[in-house]
Chains A and B, each alone.
Chain A
Amino acid sequence: MESVNVAERTDSATRVSFDLTTASVRELNAFLHDPAKLAGIEQVTVLNPEGAHNLAVGVAAPIDIEIDGNAGYFIAGMNKQANVTVHGNVGWSVAENIMSGTVRVKGIASECAGASGHGGLLVIEGDASSRCGISMKGCDIVVGGSVGHMSAFMAQAGRMVVCGDAGGGLGDSLYEAVIYVRGTIHSLGADAQEEPMTDDDYAALTELLGKAGFDHDPKSFKRVASGRTLYHWNADAEQDY
């Protein structure tokens, strides 16, 4: 079914579109936040994003959002429930603080993809730049290509799958998040270590690769997790606490 421009929406329309050459980002997000306006809507398409920032941020509804082109910073920030697909590349911090739902980038992502994500799934079919998954708190991230340096820095919980290579300082200061890398790891960050794969890891990878739509063999991945040596600031000291 074709989308109709939101301005020409009829009561029976289940798919509407926003053309950002005529509609504003404010109008788009206000629509996406309004349960009354979203009633009966299954899909919202954003046309001509032209690198605009803050598209589809703070959505908390189980709808499909299609962004038809390249987009800017903070796309789908703090997403809950929605399934957002970007048919292009994105700037910094796509799906930052994602809570649930799925955000999929068909192209490549700039820095800090999935930063501080609490839940849900972020899929980047191309490469992701540095600090991908920084401070993640329970979300899952699958990158079809490679990730830049300092990815998963201080990541607390969740899983990150890198089908390509990982840049330097991977997993620096990791807490309980787990990283799976198929290609070359240029270097590990402080307290990050390679560990043997277990059956649970293979099961997790099978699940995540399946959701993301990649058919790599889970046995071709390495596991990186925290050595937990930084969990206590002064573990060897005689502090009078």
Chain B
Amino acid sequence: MNRPVALDTEQPVDERLLSLENSYSYSSDTLAYIQRAARYGLYDIRGLGAKRKLPNFDDLSFLTAGASRYPLEGYREKCTTKTVLGTRFAKKPIVLDTPITIAGMSFGALSANVKESLGRAATEMGTSTTTGDGGMTQEERGSSKTLIYQCLPSRYGFNPDDLRKADAIEMVIGQGAKPGGGGMLLGQKINPRVAKMRTLPEGVDQRSACRHPDWTGPDDLAIKLKELREITDWQVPIYIKVGATRTYQDVKLAVKAGADVVVVDGMQGGTAATQQVFIEHTGIPTLAATKLAVQALEDMDMRGTVQLIVSGGIRSGADVAKALAMGADAVAIGQGVLMALGCNSPFWWKGNQRVSAEADYHALGTAPGHCHHCQTGKCPVGVTTQDTVLEQRVQPDMGAKHVKNYLQTMNMELTTLARACGKSNVHHLEREDLVAMTVEAAAMAGLPLAGTSWIPGVNGC
């Protein structure tokens, strides 16, 4: 590994003569990018999601009750969070105790301990978790009461036995971090078990294709969905997941193809590894995608018939409440639950003791709070790794407890906001309960700017 070395200067520099004017166009991040590109001749691959500043749910606020609205007592009166998904065609729709679900993440990107932790936490909270590009593990199926089985372009480990064990199927067309792109699990994360599940040699970089091998357009997709329904005897719901780009059209096509549930993943959504240029420069924010997806369902008169799950940068109970108020039926969370497990934390848990991981972050050339090195397989806190030593840094008992706590906290926040809006059911939250704090958010979310009735782009304004 070659590190830049400090240049020796023959003469001391007189700092009083230096101009330290910053450049907006050539910021320190841009300089680092250019210097890195010049050195290696390759783009950067990394994990997690977009880091750029984007309009998001923080730019919305609730108009809770006052004289014109009647609130529910926050600590006494019941507010239901029951959520039903997949009522359109499936004989056995998914019934959850909360609208907060766990997004698809692969065994391979994550360790078996992490997958088990997620399954156990989801089960305790009465929600669902989702497989990923590595297929279904026994640990995950065993620990998850409600498990969604993804059908991805790579079809790594995909088989009809696991398909029939699933509680729902998610046909993945794209994801918010890299819509239109595939994935890459770099060789350093391919241990013998991962290699076997994916039918590839150990240590080989595994490309996850960007297109499905057996269908192309939406007309084929409709037939493909019927194949999956026939194989599972029309028992379980089928979701279609799209990365947020042309969301209005994509949601309409997903509905036409026969989806029970549409999952829309905004550009803040995470990944285990893809090109930085993809993560930061493709797709639209989750806020805008939610508005377009709801609009598509309403225009087809399918709202309530086809359920909508929104994902991509959902972090808190407030985010969940705002997504539901905008029209989502549920949300899916990926990065947030990884952070609950320790992602970007300065320490990991050994029993009840905290152990510093700072040295391992530094060895990766990063620090807690800045790490996105999921692709290396050297996760300092044992979340995104297959390393036999590192993976022990997440133990299922502690991991499940932390994820459950996080989900529980969000669920409490969600009901707190709903009650304050006078709702006894979180699904009764509505757009009328929201305003936007910025012009950009007002335009993207289709909500009035706070203190005005102005929705940019509506009625010629």
Contact = CB atoms under 8 A, between A and B. Distances in A.
Interface in B212-230: 213-215, 220, 223-224, 226-227, 230
A60 B233 CA distance: 13
B181 to A, nearest CB: 14
Contacts of B204: 175, 231-232
A57 B214 contact: no
Contact of A54 (B188, B207, B227): B227
A170 interface: no
Nearest to A72: B223
A96 to B, nearest CB: 4
B31 interface: no
A54 B258 CA distance: 15
Interface string B340-371: 00000000000000000000000001000000
Contacts of A232: 187, 204-205
Interface stretch (B94-102, B158-166, B381-389): B158-166
A92 B214 CA distance: 7
B155 A116 contact: yes
A54 B230 CA distance: 7
B213 A53 contact: no
A238 interface: yes
A33 B213 contact: no
Interface string B180-218: 000010111000000000111100110101000111000
Contacts, number: 117
Contact of A80 (B39, B160, B186, B207): B160
A154 interface: yes
A134 to B, nearest CB: 4
A237 B41 contact: yes
A120 interface: no
B163 to A, nearest CB: 7
Given A29-B230, A74-B224, A77-B227, A241 B188 contact: yes
A138 interface: yes
Nearest to B378: A241
A73 to B, nearest CB: 5
A58 B231 contact: yes
A112 B214 contact: yes
A78 interface: yes
Given A29-B233, A99-B160, A233-B186, A53 B223 contact: yes
B1 interface: yes
A231 B184 CA distance: 11
B232 to A, nearest CB: 7
A33 B199 CA distance: 27
Interface string A110-135: 00100110100000000000010011
Interface in A49-80: 53-54, 57-58, 60, 72-74, 77-78, 80
A26 interface: yes
Contacts of B155: 97, 116, 135, 137
Contacts of B45: 233
A13 B412 CA distance: 61
A118 B199 contact: yes
A74 B40 contact: no
B2 interface: yes
B226 A54 contact: yes
A115 B205 contact: no
Contacts of B81: none
Contact of A58 (B213, B223, B230): B230
Nearest to A77: B227
A224 interface: no
A112 B213 contact: yes
A29 B39 CA distance: 58
A53 B95 CA distance: 31
Given A58-B230, A96-B213, A73 B205 contact: no
A147 interface: no
B214 A234 contact: no
B376 A241 contact: yes
B111 interface: no
B186 A116 contact: no
Given A74-B224, A135-B155, A175-B201, A116 B230 contact: no
Contact of B209 (A60, A93, A154, A234): A154
A240 interface: yes
B127 interface: no
Contacts of B220: 73, 92
Contact of A118 (B41, B159, B223, B231): B159
A82 to B, nearest CB: 12
Given A78-B159, A97-B160, A233-B184, A92 B199 contact: no
Contacts of B187: 231-232
Contacts of B215: 92-93, 112
B42 interface: yes
Contacts of B184: 233
A57 B186 contact: no
Interface in A187-225: none
B154 interface: yes
Contact of A116 (B2, B161, B201, B213): B213
Contact of A78 (B163, B200, B207, B375): B163
Given A74-B227, A97-B160, A118-B159, 16 more contacts: A53-B227, A60-B160, A78-B159, A80-B160, A92-B214, A97-B214, A112-B214, A115-B213, A116-B158, A137-B199, A173-B207, A232-B187, A237-B40, A237-B41, A241-B188, A241-B375
9 contacts: A30-B233, A74-B214, A74-B223, A97-B214, A116-B213, A138-B199, A231-B201, A238-B1, A241-B186
Closest 10 CB pairs of A and B: A58-B231, A93-B214, A115-B213, A78-B160, A115-B214, A116-B155, A135-B213, A74-B227, A137-B199, A96-B214
